[in-house]
Structure 1
Amino acid sequence: MAGRDLRALFSSNDRGMTTAEVFTNRQAQWDLVAAALAEHLEHIAAPGFDVEDLEAPRTNVLVFHGVGGIGKTTLSRKLEAALAGTGRPAQWTALSWPGAGRLRPVRIDLARAAGGDFEQLVLTIRAALADVGRPLPAFDVALRRYWEHQHPGEPLEEYLRRGGLATRFGKAMPQQVQSALADVAQALLLPGTVGSAAGQVTGSLVRALRERRQTVRALAGCARLADLLEAEPDLETLSFYPHLLAWELAQLPAGKQVVPVILLDTFEDIGDRSHRDLERLIQRVVWLMPNCFFVVTGRSRLQWAEPALQGQLDHTGPAAWPHLAPTTHHAALPRPRAALAAGDPAGGRQILVGDFSTEDCDDYLARRLETDGTPLIPAPVRQVITERSHGLPLYLDLAVMRFLELRRTGHTPGPDDFRHDFPALIARTMADLTPDERTVLRAASLLDAFDTNLATQTAGLPYQAPARRLTERPFVRENPFALWPYHLHGLIRSTIRDADDQSDDRWTSADWHHAATRALAALGRQWAAGPDRDRLLLVGCLRQGLALAADFRLDLDWLTDAAYAYISDSVWEPLAPPAPAGHPAEQWLASPVGALVELLSTLARRQHEHRSRTADRLAVLAHAALLPDELQEMALYYLAKAQRDLGRSDASRRNMQHVADLNGRLAPAARRGLAHLARLAGNFPTAHATVSALGWPGRHHRVDGDIWWPHGDVHRAATAYAAARDEADHHGVAGERATSQTQRAFTLAFTDPTLADDEIDLAEQFLTGLDLKATTLTLNLAALLRDAGTNPAVDERAEALRTEARAAGLISAEAMLDLTLAFHHAVTDDDTKLATDLERLTALAGTGDYPYYADIAHFMAGLPLPSASTAQWLTDEATVRARWRHLVQARRDR
């Protein structure tokens, strides 16, 4: 549906341009309204329904809430038009069920700017019912008495005319009120002159009701009429009169019956959560009119179902409002009609109005401004606006006005003109927040996610109440299963952080820096106080802490210890935040925190890229020397590991030795690396002599297993790997546990395929959720080795693994693959393919690494060595040869 957009029309001299107020989609919300209304009509038509029952739970409310500018008011207006039959959007299906024609929409804007009050709310509802064509005497007599008491000398007709109600609903209501008064006076046989005075009529009516006279039997059925007429006619009493209106609606004959659908818009403007006087009166109206349906739109959820409000409101708790209990779901996922049934606590009717989809945003922008039926805003511009809007309609509207403003200056708007934030969004967002809530909102914008404690500490407040209130706002989204359950709407957050805020309490750059410092410190405290080895908490704190430190150039502080905790588990979750806005990547990286981000992200990415790329990045970091000594050591150690993986053993040995000599946190790991390098060169005695000095920090059991399996002593190696796995499990290091178990599976795959099956399954379980490329390749090699000699697809599978190993730059994995193929071809006695395997392994030995792999392949095949072995075995060569030959014969026998 589209109407004239006057603001846009008066923003341009282009008479060929057409403007429209575009209403996009919201089909899900309409479906929810239709389902709720159908259930309501069934409920009030049921035999047990009693409009005077003041104790039954109320199910006559549906709430749409959402951030400012999300389109709640537009939705309210479209609902009014659709229910009135004057403008249903084409995509909304018509209400076809019985009773739909009885619906009477009454939209009331509660915004302070609209100038309404409680009196006007009650009068609006009554004026909207004038079209029933008859007086509603119980209510009308009480209203006339109230009016003469509170507005002496002011005709009701004049008030309605001045407030616009006469224009909106016609002039029949005052006449009906006067007619009701006259009819009652006549029934009581009062003189005509007395009949015009509401006070005398009501006094006589009360006496008649108390005496149960037949002349007023039509009104005698309203049990509480006499009590209301006797009460002081003030605003408090007026708030109970809707009960009389509901009763009168229930008395209408079948042909005249109507069901008011009262749409209360801008509900957030009726007060605040410390002053609920007006909210109490409005809630009373809703409670006393159970045969009417209320659709509330506002920024916040209704709290009526919270028992803690007892005393501030008349009716509170989930028993009173079963559909308003906290079961909010997104409107994009409407519940079926059955879930909206009265009394079904799962059918929550507090609906968060969602953002527009990408398609809806583009449709809105394309149809908002047109020239000869063609969208005036070009597609590339619409794409940028859509991306930056996060689906918020207010942003789209502001972008349209910016487009027209740029055209007015003679500039042709392009995509770069809309990489822009609108300070107006801040004003709309903060309009109804307290000063403390505004402080917390700004503080929370520094955080990807938060809880009340973290937001309070970042804001620098001594109490959590403002943060708790803020979490109830619709621009704060909740994920109860996340580490920190709350996060800000994306557009609200980016605008508060980046826009030129002109509000009176805007923050200076120093304010932002102080808040970021508090946030970083608070994250560090949360991590330090959390459970030991809580990986989720560690990664969450690191991600947020790195982003804060990068944005505001903060000291690394606890981030150094957290970085070491991160690498200790060898899990490698992605960590790197994007470069801060306004900072070139080169400038950002030329700082300690930028270098740390690059270091950790490189370590994580190495599981998905060639090791040469990893080595290059780490070499740049090590050369730049931007990191403090403790972290410089980390860069150097992992550079040495990447060099070893690439076969650059001399460079790796130099760097490993340097880290070991520093005697820092990674010295045990570096000594393990030196032992690995000695083993790679075939110097088993040197590697073995190192084992006893490594201990758990140097992963001594795994190094021991790495030494013994090349000797063909696979069971001794498997025992060492099991000890390494169990030790890692004891220390809670998931990556080391998976790696040790995978090595055990690979080693035992040379022996018994059935036993290897179980070990491979266990390794797969340990690898779940981890990102370890080399270990995953080793596990695939174990499966290949298990099938050696029995599965004809081994060669085909091996080539796929070779491609994978080369893409990762893992020389060690390719070497193990060739050894696995040599075992397979020795078992199958395939001399041709075995010759190819020997050729590859001999070429590898020529590099100085893995010279013993070629020896082992000859031992497997029972072939003599072409020249004397350079490997320095721990046992005599004949024993090693015999072990490997035995493994091949055993596989042949199977």
Structure 2
Amino acid sequence: MAGRDLRALFGSNDRSLGTDEAFTNRGGQWAQVTTAIAEHLAHVAADGFDVQDLETARRNVLVFHGIGGVGKTTLSRKLEAALAAAESRPAQWGEPTWPATPRLLPVRVDLARSAGMDFERLVLTLRLTLAGLDRALPAFDLALIRYWEHNHPGESLEEYLRRAGLVSRFAKVLPGQLQGALSKAAEEFALPGVVGSAVGQVTTAVVRAVRERRTTARALAGCPRLADLLEAEPDLDALSFYPHLLAYEIDRLPAKAAVVPVVLLDTFEDTGDRTNRDLERLIQRTVWLLPNALFVITGRSRLQWADDALQGQLDYTGPAAWPQLAAHIPAACGAAPTASVSSGTAADRQVLIGDFSPEDCDDYLARRLTADGRPLIGDDLREVIAARSHGLPLFLDLAVMRFLEIRRTRTPEAADFDHDFPALIARTLQDLTPDERHVLRAVSLLDAFDIALATATAGMTHQAAALRLAERPFVRENQLALWPYHLHGVVRSTIRRADDHTDDRWSDQDWARAAARAFDALGDQWTDAPDRGRRLLVACLRQGLTLARDHRLDLGWLSEAAWAYVSDSVWEPLVLRSTGTGEDRNGGQSLATAADALVETLNALARRQHEHRARTVQRLAAVVDTHLLPEDLHHLAVYYLAKAQRDLGHRAGSRHGMQLVADGGGRLAPAARRGLVHLARLAGDFPAAQAAAQGLGWKGRQHRVEGDILWPHADMRRAADAYLAARTQAEQHGVAGERATSQAQRAFTLAFTDPQAADDEIDLAKQLLTGLDLRATTLTVQTAALVRDAGRDDVDDQLEVLRTEARTAGIVAAQAALELAAAFHHAVRGDDAALAAVQARLRDLARAGDYAYYTDIAHHMAGQRPDAPSGVCWLDSEETVRTRWRDLVTTRQHLLAPGQ
């Protein structure tokens, strides 16, 4: 119930201060639903109700909103079950208060992106629900058939419903009902058999009959907008107006078959965000055009439909359109912090469940304290408090009181609310047993946990306390996560940071011992796992690195985990949460321990897929200079530093690093020897590169290196075969990154010789890149697509986009390959001026001494000789190489010639 906040009122001498209370209390959702249904049934049964009235305010929406994990989806499912069958209703919900007729027809639609629901499927779901009435709905069905034939030519609706996951006992009934509506319309208008089966002919006849008000169309003439909808282009926008026809058909059902749909739309936040409302607009239009259906919407935030500021983004906005959705003060934080809340008045149809969304936090703070009708807490300060609260109502409540306390002596500032309230600890711990309090402190060290991990971190031999703690409302659960439990953000932060004056508070040594136990427990989970998958590895690394860094622990199992992380070249991000003091170490704080150095190394390797290689060199060089890492991990940093230097064209530094690692004989020695081969190749010494490649074997990726040597000679068939062998080996060894890289190179080589075959190779490369973070390989695939399309008119624009991406990445090899693709394109088109410009860019890239053979190849494509000797040592005669490259160009020209 909304009222005066007496604590705030008595916290200031300012009598002009406006205070509104917000009270948080779980319960009442079912009562809200029963009240809304009763009001809705009375509304649609009233004499003045007209489904075709498009101007009257809508009162057919009930919203439950709250942060993720507070039970909105469970509530939605429970409501669907309770409305479908009385025996499915929880006993504590009580008997419904609405009349027995007309029958309620519940349908639940999950709008989550993961569920794959789009607007078309939403409309089909609504129609499927009505299929149980065993009757055609001709106005809607004719429009739907026309839409289907236009947008899904030749596709069976029944098969589509099966593939789309819309399988129900009515999935096979609906297509027959739609066809029945079509056939009946053809029969009523006496259309010939062949014509009667054509959707276009039938709808044309219906439009004419409706407009002429023929007696044969009396069943449809009551819907005057039907003709306009049948004449409109049957696109997605038109489909969003078809619910008007559905409302008409539901309204004209005979009394014995009368139903009132109750549509439960779950995960509404996935319809978009507050700047992208395309899907929300279509759904809102459906809600407006179906006034005889009640919509129960669950999502993370209040609906803003009653906000006039959205005019233009949505069709129907403002409090006059949605009087029951108009802004209402969110209930306050007086009760249990994670409890649900009923709205303050019966008229308000937006009900908060659990914690506040950021928008609601701001609304709460803006309305809680006012002066002269304006928010007393300024915009910037409200933003800081809302972010710090993690949506916890109790934190907002305490922040308001802190604001009033500070305001007595000075103006509150943002820094005043980077604050952990000890009261939160007291409120959190007050009803916990000593064992539960011990486990709570232990798991506050972890981002996420399961029962076993919590028990081990707490140093207990039994799980009972952890099991009880997991049931507490401040412990959130996600069963799809690797570790299903995590603490509410502000509760965790407060337990870790606030002054703890409780009797059983922990000392610094207690925290250190718990951190060591957590670290060891994570290591045990990874090392003892029967299948050390990437998901477990990355999760253990993230938490383990954080613990080792923050508590200055020895690396232990992290060393082996780090090697496992780099082995697949997947590069999932490992950005860790801040240390809580000063700048995050990931962002450049000084390195003091081996854990600091390992964190920086692995983050640099992951971030290099999104940063310029110069930044990667800077970060890894800083790690190498500290010599904090043990020798094997030190060589890891040196090797990837050398790789980044090679990408930048820093030949001397790269060779020095590669030689150091190769001479060390460690795990990366084969890779370093491969790096030395690459350096010889980039310098144009192909005989030396080929000779050195012969001893690389699988660990040195010999087949891929052979392909890298062969394709510059335009020996594309042998190069493609080498890359195929490399990809096969990678598959056998289960190395996803190498598999994708080898396939990308294969696609690149075949794009020169066979554009049609290259299509499939490029598609496969994209598929293999799914879930990987390989920037250079992605650029290779995009370059392959350009080579495949060389000679076409639309390539130039694509070239400019990719040039920008390659320069941003700082990968010289990618820039050189891209310019080579451009040279091929211009040579095929016979554009000498553009080709000369490309040759000039390639010469600039080769100034450091590497990639000179790219310039030679660009000349070979045009049948030209280089302006000056490049010093490249080819495996074959230069004339042979020139002829091969020129043949590739002339073959493509012939392929693109008219009539070919």
Is the CA contact (8 Å cut-off) linking 1:538 and 1:566 kept in structure 2?
yes
Secondary structure of the corresponding residue to residue 622 of structure 2: helix
Pair 1:401 & 2:401 matched: yes
Is the CA contact (8 Å cut-off) linking 1:682 and 1:852 kept in structure 2?
yes
Q: Which amino acid is the alignment partner of residue 848 of structure 2?
A: T
Task: Give the aligned partner of residue 251 of structure 2.
Answer: none
Q: Which amino acid is the alignment partner of residue 20 of structure 1?
A: D
User: Residues of 2 paired with 1:66 and 1:473: CA distance?
Assistant: 18
Q: How far apart are 1:491 and its partner, in Å?
A: 1.1
User: Residues of 1 paired with 2:827 and 2:802: CA distance?
Assistant: 20
Q: Which amino acid is the alignment partner of residue 434 of structure 1?
A: T
Task: Give the aligned partner of residue 806 of structure 1.
Answer: 807
Pair 1:872 & 2:863 matched: no
Task: Give the aligned partner of residue 153 of structure 1.
Answer: none
Of 576, 590, 598 in structure 2, the residue corresponding to residue 596 of structure 1 is: 598
Is the CA contact (8 Å cut-off) linking 1:603 and 1:614 kept in structure 2?
yes
Which deviates more, 12-21 or 735-744?
A: 12-21
Q: Which amino acid is the alignment partner of residue 825 of structure 1?
A: H
Task: Give the aligned partner of residue 190 of structure 1.
Answer: none
Q: TM-score, normalised by structure 2?
A: 0.63
User: Residues of 2 paired with 1:707 and 1:403: CA distance?
Assistant: 69
Residues 362-419 of structure 1: CA deviation (Å, up to 9, x unaligned): 23223333334343333333222221111222112222222233234x2332221111
Q: Summarize the Cα distance change of 1:501–1:720 in structure 2 as closer, same or farther, 3 Å threshold.
A: same
Is the CA contact (8 Å cut-off) linking 2:748 and 2:783 kept in structure 1?
yes
Where do 1:488-527 residues align within 5 Å? 488-527=487-526
User: Residues of 1 paired with 2:514 and 2:378: CA distance?
Assistant: 40
User: Residues of 2 paired with 1:532 and 1:683: CA distance?
Assistant: 44
Q: How far apart are 1:499 and its partner, in Å?
A: 1.1
Pair 1:386 & 2:386 matched: yes
Task: Give the aligned partner of residue 748 of structure 2.
Answer: 746
User: Residues of 2 paired with 1:424 and 1:487: CA distance?
Assistant: 21
Task: Give the aligned partner of residue 31 of structure 2.
Answer: 33
Q: Which amino acid is the alignment partner of residue 463 of structure 1?
A: H
Secondary structure of the corresponding residue to residue 487 of structure 1: strand
Task: Give the aligned partner of residue 423 of structure 1.
Answer: 422
Secondary structure of the corresponding residue to residue 476 of structure 2: strand
Task: Give the aligned partner of residue 412 of structure 1.
Answer: 411
Secondary structure of the corresponding residue to residue 421 of structure 1: coil
User: Residues of 2 paired with 1:401 and 1:330: CA distance?
Assistant: 21
User: Residues of 2 paired with 1:747 and 1:543: CA distance?
Assistant: 38
Q: How far apart are 1:689 and its partner, in Å?
A: 1.6
Q: How far apart are 1:39 and its partner, in Å?
A: 8.5
Where do 1:625-640 residues align within 5 Å? 625-640=627-642
Q: Summarize the Cα distance change of 1:860–1:533 in structure 2 as closer, same or farther, 3 Å threshold.
A: farther
User: Residues of 1 paired with 2:778 and 2:339: CA distance?
Assistant: 40
Q: Summarize the Cα distance change of 1:837–1:365 in structure 2 as closer, same or farther, 3 Å threshold.
A: closer
User: Residues of 2 paired with 1:534 and 1:880: CA distance?
Assistant: 45
User: Residues of 2 paired with 1:472 and 1:40: CA distance?
Assistant: 35
User: Residues of 1 paired with 2:839 and 2:389: CA distance?
Assistant: 62
Residues 404-442 of structure 1: CA deviation (Å, up to 9, x unaligned): 33234x233222111111111122212222222111111
Q: How far apart are 1:490 and its partner, in Å?
A: 0.9
Residues 281-336 of structure 1: CA deviation (Å, up to 9, x unaligned): xxxxxxxxxxxxxxxxxxxxxxxxxxxxxxxxxxxxxxxxxxxxxxxx997999xx
Q: How far apart are 1:550 and its partner, in Å?
A: 1.7
Q: Which amino acid is the alignment partner of residue 416 of structure 2?
A: D
Task: Give the aligned partner of residue 843 of structure 2.
Answer: 842
User: Residues of 2 paired with 1:39 and 1:96: CA distance?
Assistant: 9
User: Residues of 1 paired with 2:374 and 2:884: CA distance?
Assistant: 81
Secondary structure of the corresponding residue to residue 674 of structure 2: helix
Residues 843-881 of structure 1: CA deviation (Å, up to 9, x unaligned): 434431112222222222222343445111222323222
Secondary structure of the corresponding residue to residue 21 of structure 1: coil
Q: Which amino acid is the alignment partner of residue 803 of structure 1?
A: T
Secondary structure of the corresponding residue to residue 370 of structure 2: strand
Task: Give the aligned partner of residue 438 of structure 1.
Answer: 437
Is the CA contact (8 Å cut-off) linking 1:22 and 1:367 kept in structure 2?
no
Is the CA contact (8 Å cut-off) linking 1:724 and 1:737 kept in structure 2?
yes
Task: Give the aligned partner of residue 245 of structure 2.
Answer: none
Task: Give the aligned partner of residue 14 of structure 1.
Answer: 14
Is the CA contact (8 Å cut-off) linking 1:352 and 1:474 kept in structure 2?
no
Pair 1:606 & 2:608 matched: yes
Secondary structure of the corresponding residue to residue 693 of structure 1: coil
Q: Which amino acid is the alignment partner of residue 365 of structure 2?
A: L
Task: Give the aligned partner of residue 369 of structure 1.
Answer: 369
Q: How far apart are 1:828 and its partner, in Å?
A: 2.4
Is the CA contact (8 Å cut-off) linking 1:330 and 1:352 kept in structure 2?
no
Q: How far apart are 1:7 and its partner, in Å?
A: 2.7
Residues 648-701 of structure 1: CA deviation (Å, up to 9, x unaligned): 112111111112122222211111111000000011122112222212121111
Structure 2 unaligned spans of 5+: 41-63, 71-95, 101-337, 344-350, 896-900
Task: Give the aligned partner of residue 862 of structure 2.
Answer: 861
Q: Summarize the Cα distance change of 1:32–1:755 in structure 2 as closer, same or farther, 3 Å threshold.
A: same
Q: Which amino acid is the alignment partner of residue 32 of structure 2?
A: A
User: Residues of 1 paired with 2:531 and 2:810: CA distance?
Assistant: 35
Q: Which amino acid is the alignment partner of residue 595 of structure 1?
A: A
Q: Summarize the Cα distance change of 1:395–1:844 in structure 2 as closer, same or farther, 3 Å threshold.
A: closer
Q: Summarize the Cα distance change of 1:381–1:877 in structure 2 as closer, same or farther, 3 Å threshold.
A: closer
Where do 1:47-196 residues align within 5 Å? none
Q: How far apart are 1:893 and its partner, in Å?
A: 2.4
User: Residues of 1 paired with 2:831 and 2:365: CA distance?
Assistant: 69
Q: Which amino acid is the alignment partner of residue 799 of structure 1?
A: E
Q: Summarize the Cα distance change of 1:333–1:677 in structure 2 as closer, same or farther, 3 Å threshold.
A: farther
Task: Give the aligned partner of residue 833 of structure 1.
Answer: 834
Q: How far apart are 1:23 and its partner, in Å?
A: 4.6
Is the CA contact (8 Å cut-off) linking 1:823 and 1:860 kept in structure 2?
yes
Q: How far apart are 1:489 and its partner, in Å?
A: 0.9
Residues 167-201 of structure 1: CA deviation (Å, up to 9, x unaligned): xxxxxxxxxxxxxxxxxxxxxxxxxxxxxxxxxxx
Q: Summarize the Cα distance change of 1:715–1:332 in structure 2 as closer, same or farther, 3 Å threshold.
A: farther
Q: How far apart are 1:9 and its partner, in Å?
A: 3.2
Q: How far apart are 1:719 and its partner, in Å?
A: 0.8
Is the CA contact (8 Å cut-off) linking 1:691 and 1:703 kept in structure 2?
yes
Where do 1:714-733 residues align within 5 Å? 714-733=716-735
Is the CA contact (8 Å cut-off) linking 2:342 and 2:352 kept in structure 1?
no
Q: How far apart are 1:543 and its partner, in Å?
A: 0.7
Residues 114-148 of structure 1: CA deviation (Å, up to 9, x unaligned): xxxxxxxxxxxxxxxxxxxxxxxxxxxxxxxxxxx
Q: Which amino acid is the alignment partner of residue 514 of structure 2?
A: A
User: Residues of 2 paired with 1:596 and 1:639: CA distance?
Assistant: 14
Is the CA contact (8 Å cut-off) linking 1:65 and 1:474 kept in structure 2?
no
Q: How far apart are 1:785 and its partner, in Å?
A: 0.6
Q: How far apart are 1:470 and its partner, in Å?
A: 1.5
Is the CA contact (8 Å cut-off) linking 2:776 and 2:814 kept in structure 1?
yes
Is the CA contact (8 Å cut-off) linking 1:576 and 1:600 kept in structure 2?
no
Residues 472-530 of structure 1: CA deviation (Å, up to 9, x unaligned): 22111111111111111111111111111111111111111111111111111111122
Q: How far apart are 1:754 and its partner, in Å?
A: 1.0
Q: How high is the sequence identity, in percent, across the aligned residues?
A: 63
User: Residues of 2 paired with 1:646 and 1:471: CA distance?
Assistant: 51
Secondary structure of the corresponding residue to residue 22 of structure 1: coil
Structure 1 unaligned spans of 5+: 43-63, 71-94, 100-328, 335-350
User: Residues of 2 paired with 1:330 and 1:609: CA distance?
Assistant: 44
Secondary structure of the corresponding residue to residue 817 of structure 2: helix
Secondary structure of the corresponding residue to residue 445 of structure 2: coil
Of 776, 782, 785 in structure 2, the residue corresponding to residue 783 of structure 1 is: 785
RMSD of aligned Cα (Å)? 3.0
Q: Which amino acid is the alignment partner of residue 412 of structure 1?
A: T
User: Residues of 2 paired with 1:375 and 1:893: CA distance?
Assistant: 73
Q: Which amino acid is the alignment partner of residue 747 of structure 2?
A: A
Task: Give the aligned partner of residue 889 of structure 1.
Answer: 890
Q: How far apart are 1:35 and its partner, in Å?
A: 2.0
Q: How far apart are 1:708 and its partner, in Å?
A: 0.8
User: Residues of 1 paired with 2:342 and 2:839: CA distance?
Assistant: 62
Q: TM-score, normalised by structure 1?
A: 0.63
Larger Rg: 1
Secondary structure of the corresponding residue to residue 582 of structure 1: coil
Q: Summarize the Cα distance change of 1:620–1:38 in structure 2 as closer, same or farther, 3 Å threshold.
A: closer
Secondary structure of the corresponding residue to residue 477 of structure 1: strand
Is the CA contact (8 Å cut-off) linking 2:570 and 2:737 kept in structure 1?
yes
Q: Summarize the Cα distance change of 1:846–1:398 in structure 2 as closer, same or farther, 3 Å threshold.
A: closer
Is the CA contact (8 Å cut-off) linking 2:27 and 2:342 kept in structure 1?
no
User: Residues of 1 paired with 2:550 and 2:622: CA distance?
Assistant: 22
